[in-house]
């Protein structure tokens, strides 16, 4: 559907517009969220969340034995690791237009976009979708009312979303559905539709869908939403392995519960059993004799588990390895790190983590596109709402996005390599070295202090 046709449908018959606007709405988001939180009911009866408790005995002696249902949360580990390798370290923004970049960074930092990007990535990889919403907000700055650009991250907690594209694949509308409580204290269903021209705010009443307020002009001149999705959660390819691992572990826990308390096997007629608090406990089993020989006796011994479950342990080790390997998730458990011994940081560490690094590289293209749209909306917001900026300031403005690594750098290794390449000669200035050290806030000011100290020291030496 073309934009003008959709706009006409939204204003003339919103009920008919809803199916069009929600045609690409994801249906399984709530299931993925529940699975991520440990629900374990999405795949079927082979999940621990669907294990049934056992009933033993009959009649008045019937009782229910609760079985173990233990989710091990591999899903959270997979998602958090993937998000950390992308946004664990803040992205770097650069541009030749430093004046415009300064304004963009100001909005970026005021809205803590670096922190939001980590949460955004985590939501997309666990729920399969998330969205940034941009809107102008009036606030008082130094006694004057000022309009600023605000950014909010919305996930499934805030409702559901759906984008609408035209036949060329361009975004022409975005619908956000959510519930609220009206002035009468009743639950109210709301739908907001964002287009490049207006934001349409609707709510459902007794007479159907009505305007919450008149269409709001869009100061951004673009749909003020950055939406991202993926077909399946990050852990989807290993869900069967995780299910099997959790089921075996839960059954193993049940077995341990059954055999952990000692069980006594008694042979023959028992005359007395010791009390629970009795010291020097003993069991009395009578014996019968005939012609001085024992004709009937008894015995008592513990029932023990003689065979360790080696097959279960082997399967658990293989499953654990495959879950981490197939999702390119590093196993950073204490056990693994202790087994790795002393590993140097820098190049060696990067080779160790090559799989998650490559996985992050595959995701960088999609997320750099999302970041580019964030920057574009910030620019449009600054132009549309700020009195301190105008469109000419952003003429030919382009920002470059650089993803940075969370792995520690081996500075000694790097400097040694560069020094050798430069034939032992200095390859950076003292001021640059001070700036790169991370120990000073202002490298230029620090160099002036060093010069003053050297001058003072030289004067004292001459006086002597």
Q: What percent helix, strand, coil does the chain show, rounded to 5?
A: 45, 20, 35
In angstroms, rounded to a whole number, what is the distance separating the alpha carbons of residues 45 and 59?
28
Task: Tell me what pLDDT residue 364 has.
Answer: 92
Task: Tell me what pLDDT residue 163 has.
Answer: 96
State percent of the chain over pLDDT 70: 79
In angstroms, rounded to a whole number, what is the distance separating the alpha carbons of residues 323 and 340?
19
Residue spans of the domains in the chain: they are 3-56+63-235+358-402, 236-326, 428-463
pLDDT at 15 over 60: yes
Task: Tell me what pLDDT residue 152 has.
Answer: 96
pLDDT at 248 over 90: no
pLDDT at 356 over 80: yes
In the chain, what is the straight-line distance between the N-terminal and C-terminal CA atoms, in Å? Answer: 89
Mean residue pLDDT across the chain: 83
In angstroms, rounded to a whole number, what is the distance separating the alpha carbons of residues 205 and 152?
27
**pLDDT-derived band of residue 68, with 50, 70 and 90 as boundaries?**
confident
Report, as an integer, the average pLDDT of 69-78. 90
Residue 111: phi and psi, rounded to 5, are -100, 5
pLDDT at 313 over 60: yes
Task: Tell me what pLDDT residue 203 has.
Answer: 94
pLDDT tens digit sequence for 27-50:
999 999 999 999 888 877 788 888
State percent of the chain over pLDDT 90: 40
pLDDT at 79 over 80: yes
Task: Tell me what pLDDT residue 378 has.
Answer: 93
Task: Tell me what pLDDT residue 339 has.
Answer: 55
Task: Tell me what pLDDT residue 155 has.
Answer: 96
Report, as an integer, the average pLDDT of 364-381. 93
Task: Tell me what pLDDT residue 416 has.
Answer: 57
Task: Tell me what pLDDT residue 276 has.
Answer: 57
By mean pLDDT, which of 51-60, 145-154, 216-225, 306-315 is the weakest? 306-315
Q: Where are the beta strands (DSSP E) in 186-308?
A: 187-194, 198-205, 208-217, 225-229, 263-267, 288-290, 293-296, 299-303
By mean pLDDT, which of 180-194, 241-255, 403-417, 442-456 is the weakest? 403-417
By mean pLDDT, which of 198-207, 256-265, 277-286, 411-420 is the weakest? 411-420
Report, as an integer, the average pLDDT of 284-304. 72
By mean pLDDT, which of 19-23, 329-333, 436-440, 447-451 is the weakest? 436-440
Task: Tell me what pLDDT residue 427 has.
Answer: 57
Report, as an integer, the average pLDDT of 268-274. 69
Count CB atoms within 10 A of the CB of residue 34: 14
In angstroms, rounded to a whole number, what is the distance separating the alpha carbons of residues 188 and 380?
32
Task: Tell me what pLDDT residue 254 has.
Answer: 83
């Amino acid at each position: 559907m073309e934009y003008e046709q959709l706009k006409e449908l939204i204003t003339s018959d919103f009920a008919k517009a809803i199916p069009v606007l929600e045609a690409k709405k994801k249906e399984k988001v709530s299931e993925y969220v529940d699975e991520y939180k440990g629900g374990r009911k999405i795949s079927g009866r082979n999940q621990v969340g669907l294990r049934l408790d056992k009933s033993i005995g009959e009649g008045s002696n019937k009782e229910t034995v609760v079985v173990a249902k233990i989710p091990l949360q591999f899903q959270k580990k997979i998602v958090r690791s993937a998000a950390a390798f992308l946004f664990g370290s803040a992205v770097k923004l650069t541009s030749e237009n430093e004046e415009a970049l300064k304004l963009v960074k100001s909005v970026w930092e005021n809205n803590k976009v670096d922190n939001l990007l980590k949460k955004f990535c985590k939501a997309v990889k666990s729920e399969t979708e998330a969205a940034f919403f941009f809107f102008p907000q009036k606030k008082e700055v130094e006694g004057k009312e000022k309009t600023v650009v605000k950014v909010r991250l919305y996930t499934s907690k805030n409702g559901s979303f759906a984008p609408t594209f035209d036949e060329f694949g361009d975004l022409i509308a975005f619908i956000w559905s959510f519930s609220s409580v009206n002035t009468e204290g009743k639950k109210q269903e709301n739908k907001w539709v964002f287009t490049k021209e207006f934001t349409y705010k609707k709510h459902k009443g007794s007479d159907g869908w009505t305007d919450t307020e008149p269409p709001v002009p869009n100061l951004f001149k673009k749909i003020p939403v950055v939406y991202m999705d993926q077909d399946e959660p990050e852990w989807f390819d290993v869900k069967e392995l995780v299910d099997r691992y959790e089921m075996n572990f839960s059954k193993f826990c049940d077995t341990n519960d059954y055999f952990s308390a000692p069980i006594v096997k008694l042979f023959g007629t028992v005359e007395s059993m010791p009390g629970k608090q009795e010291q020097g406990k003993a069991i009395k089993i009578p014996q019968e004799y005939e012609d001085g020989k024992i004709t009937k006796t008894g015995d008592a011994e513990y029932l023990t588990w003689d065979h360790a479950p080696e097959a279960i342990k082997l399967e658990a080790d293989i499953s654990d390895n495959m879950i981490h390997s197939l999702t390119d998730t590093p196993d950073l458990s204490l056990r693994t790190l202790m087994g790795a011994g002393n590993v140097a940081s820098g190049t060696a560490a990067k080779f160790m983590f090559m799989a998650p690094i490559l996985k992050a590289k595959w995701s960088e293209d999609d997320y750099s596109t999302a970041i580019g749209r964030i920057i574009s909306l910030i620019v449009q917001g600054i132009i549309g709402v700020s009195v301190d900026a105008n469109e000419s300031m952003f003429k030919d403005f382009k920002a470059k996005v650089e993803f940075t690594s969370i792995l520690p750098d081996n500075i000694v290794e790097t400097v040694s390599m560069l020094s050798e390449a430069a034939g032992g000669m200095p390859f950076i200035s003292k001021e640059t070295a001070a700036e790169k050290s991370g120990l000073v806030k202002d490298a230029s000011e620090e160099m002036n202090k060093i010069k003053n100290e050297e001058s003072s020291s030289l004067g004292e030496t001459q006086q002597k």
